Structure 1
Amino acid sequence: MELLEDSHQEMRINNSYQLAAVQLCFENVNRSCIKTPYSPIPRMILYVVFGFGAVLAVFGNLLVIIAILHFKQLHTPTNFLIASLACADFLVGLTVMPFSMVRSVESCWYFGESYCKFHTCFDGSFCYASLFHLCFISIDRYIAVTDPLVYPTKFTVPISGICIVVSWGCSVTYSFSLFYTGVNDDGLEDMVIALTCVGGCQAPVNQDWVLFGFLLFFIPTIAMLILYGKIFLVAKHQARKIESTINQTQASAESYKDRVAKRERKAAKTLGIAVAVFLVSWLPYFIDSLIDAYMNFITPPYVYEILLWCVYYNSAMNPLIYAFFYPWFRKAIKLIVSGTVLRNDSSAMNLFSEKVEI
């Protein structure tokens, strides 16, 4: 009897130790999610890395938006599309990344079930908004490079505005209707029940909608790659034609056309780099999502987090690309940071040091 009591006591001690070792997102709450945080040093490093990305996405894209909207010289159809793209990236840094940072590091969602849905919808909306903007920008650049003199009459500010409305309207409608109607988890009811706990924020998507989402990403991506392939072929042909011009009279007559063509090629090259960075950031995530849906969600959590944050960091990359390739953007940053933009006549300032600069 004494031996039996000692055995029960030992079992109680072991159970108490196991319970103490398991951390919960919300102590003393039924069905709380299990918390698996990182140790102090990796935890601090992750907060710094993720936080830096969020700050860069917010302030970098805010500088792009202010520069384009403030300086009249930048009020072009392409730049309005770029400003709207920067708005999507700015919102990722403001409404998505800070909350995902806490969830990724702490492995818990502390911001309520309602905002969990909004957070998921924002994530999808801004992703597809960026994609559609880049697709319209590639169309804009194709027209500008293939027919630079007629381009101003074909792609006007109203046309640019329609592209912006379509980009935002389609992406927001798709994401919110997908997650708020609940069709995303049709057929996954058992898994949803198993995953549901207090302090979690999962949004599983069934195979049909994962495939649809992948196609919604893949088709515009192929269109962009085809357009930019044609753009660079035309640009290469134009460059060779200009270099082979021998007759000085003919060169003088075509000098304006040559300058315009050079400017449009430079803009296409820079925006092509932005598209390439977007694809490198997003494609692994979409491929993994597609594989996951058909292989019973086999991706390890840490791999998913890496792919997810590659996606988020894309929102911080575009301002760096513009700063590196666009002299006008570097000059605009100096004027904004120095407070020169507060002057009454600052909106009319010249940001271009050369006629061919874009």
Structure 2
Amino acid sequence: MLSGLEPTNCTVCCCTLANKILMVVFMILLIFAILFGNSVTLAVVFGTKHFHTPQGYLKASLATADLAVGVFVVPLSVYAEVSLLINGSTPEWTMRNSQDLTLHPCIFIGPMFAGCTLVSITTIFLLTIERSIAVVKPLHKESVITKKRTSVLIVLSWLGSFLLAVTPIIFSKDISLEYNPCSRMCNYAVGGNGFPSHAWNILLLFPVFDFTLLGGTMVINIISFSTIRQHSKRRKHLAEADSQSITKPTFSDIKAARTIGTLTLAFTASFTPIAVFVVGNVIGNEWCNFSFFAFWILATNSCWNVIIYSVRDQKFRHRAHQLLALPRGKNDNT
């Protein structure tokens, strides 16, 4: 999301040979963490009947989006930076943008990263709604939240997210894709004559869309947690017969809502630097060093979900441990 391909000064990631090596090691470790963590998540969800639920499907969608970042996005950066280490220069395509080179790799990788980020935000929003219904309206959970409806919403979220991801390069000739020398990643770039405000308005669709969904997610989480708090108070003060009312959310629903709340906070924290960076670009700041940290903090978020599940979901943790342990007979798929 930087404007153009001007050469940049020495940045924190690549000032010295040691920094370059550390950066490449970090990228390679991140690939392994993303692939391992999200593969475990998909194995747990699809290999365990207990997780064949609307919530499980949404977690699988989130893991797939994160897995795509580790398979497509980060490896391209590793290839470019390893080439720089070995040959003393990056590949020729890193010096040109997608308007100058027809088969530019960033034409695919840039929208892939943006689309997967949008899918993650949309999926977290859907997870929050699913858990909110389970907590606030437990009697309506089974009738409102179905596997078929969830599957349709997942497909729509992927289609809508990637449509939005390619919108900048479709609707503005001033926007291209480049391998940015600051972020060390494929980004949208604004070129053309002057400082075309309409191009920046299109790029601002990303933070506006993301923070609208994240804001809605926060509000829904607040409602859910308020309900959980009221339920906890009733359990302490009401009679035993009342506390066992079927209209109250189950313990697993409450715990799942708290897990989704943690996911929301983690993603909000990882996405906020990108939004700040985009707004800074709009008002004319390049923030080269900051862009590196902003984009790679967001990329790192792709390996955090499995950690959050493992810490907060005992059933997930138990099943993941079974899958990773040495085989001792038939697996328990219940």
- Structure-2-length-normalised TM-score: 0.81
User: What's the counterpart of residue 108 of structure 2?
Assistant: 118
Aligned residues: 303
Matched, 1:267 2:256: yes
In the alignment, residue 262 of structure 2 is paired with which amino acid?
I
Equivalent of residue 223 in structure 1, options 209, 216, 219: 216
Whole-angstrom distance in 2 between the partners of 1:330 and 1:45: 31
Contact 2:168 2:203 (C-alpha < 8 Å) held by counterparts? no
Over 3 Å counting, the alpha-carbon distance change for 1:250 and 1:234 in structure 2 is closer
Over 3 Å counting, the alpha-carbon distance change for 1:332 and 1:306 in structure 2 is same
Contact 1:131 1:217 (C-alpha < 8 Å) held by counterparts? yes
Matched, 1:301 2:288: yes
Deviation per CA, 1:132-190: give whole Å up to 9, x if none: 111111111110110123211111101110110111010112213433x2x3453x79x
Where do 1:88-167 residues align within 5 Å?
88-103=65-80, 106=84, 108-109=90-91, 113-167=103-157
Structure 1 vs Structure 2 CA RMSD: 3.1
Whole-angstrom distance in 1 between the partners of 2:142 and 2:28: 41
User: What's the counterpart of residue 310 of structure 1?
Assistant: 297
In percent, how many aligned pairs have the same letter?
20
Give the gaps of 5 or more residues in structure 1.
1-30, 350-358
Contact 1:104 1:305 (C-alpha < 8 Å) held by counterparts? no
In the alignment, residue 170 of structure 1 is paired with which amino acid?
G
Whole-angstrom distance in 2 between the partners of 1:120 and 1:109: 17
Per the TM alignment, residue 104 of structure 1 is displaced from its structure 2 partner at its CA by 6.2
Per the TM alignment, residue 315 of structure 1 is displaced from its structure 2 partner at its CA by 0.6
Matched, 1:235 2:212: no
Deviation per CA, 1:66-106: give whole Å up to 9, x if none: 11011111111011101101100011111111223454684
Over 3 Å counting, the alpha-carbon distance change for 1:58 and 1:111 in structure 2 is farther
Equivalent of residue 329 in structure 1, options 316, 320, 325: 316
Contact 1:207 1:294 (C-alpha < 8 Å) held by counterparts? no
User: What's the counterpart of residue 34 of structure 2?
Assistant: 57
Over 3 Å counting, the alpha-carbon distance change for 1:326 and 1:38 in structure 2 is same
Contact 2:41 2:306 (C-alpha < 8 Å) held by counterparts? yes
The alignment partner of 1:309 has SS state of helix
Whole-angstrom distance in 2 between the partners of 1:173 and 1:102: 27
Deviation per CA, 1:237-268: give whole Å up to 9, x if none: 011011112x33444x53x665x432211101
Matched, 1:48 2:25: yes
Whole-angstrom distance in 1 between the partners of 2:79 and 2:71: 13
Largest Rg, 1 or 2: 1
Over 3 Å counting, the alpha-carbon distance change for 1:142 and 1:329 in structure 2 is same
Q: Which moved more, 1:57-66 or 1:144-153?
A: 144-153
Per the TM alignment, residue 300 of structure 1 is displaced from its structure 2 partner at its CA by 2.9
Where do 1:176-215 residues align within 5 Å?
176-179=166-169, 181=170, 183-186=171-174, 203-205=188-190, 206-215=199-208
Structure with the higher helix share, 1 or 2: 1
Equivalent of residue 277 in structure 1, options 266, 277, 293: 266
Give the gaps of 5 or more residues in structure 2.
95-102, 191-198
Moved over 6 A (4+): 31-36
Over 3 Å counting, the alpha-carbon distance change for 1:35 and 1:284 in structure 2 is closer
Whole-angstrom distance in 1 between the partners of 2:205 and 2:165: 12
User: What's the counterpart of residue 196 of structure 2?
Assistant: none
Over 3 Å counting, the alpha-carbon distance change for 1:340 and 1:200 in structure 2 is closer
Per the TM alignment, residue 339 of structure 1 is displaced from its structure 2 partner at its CA by 5.6
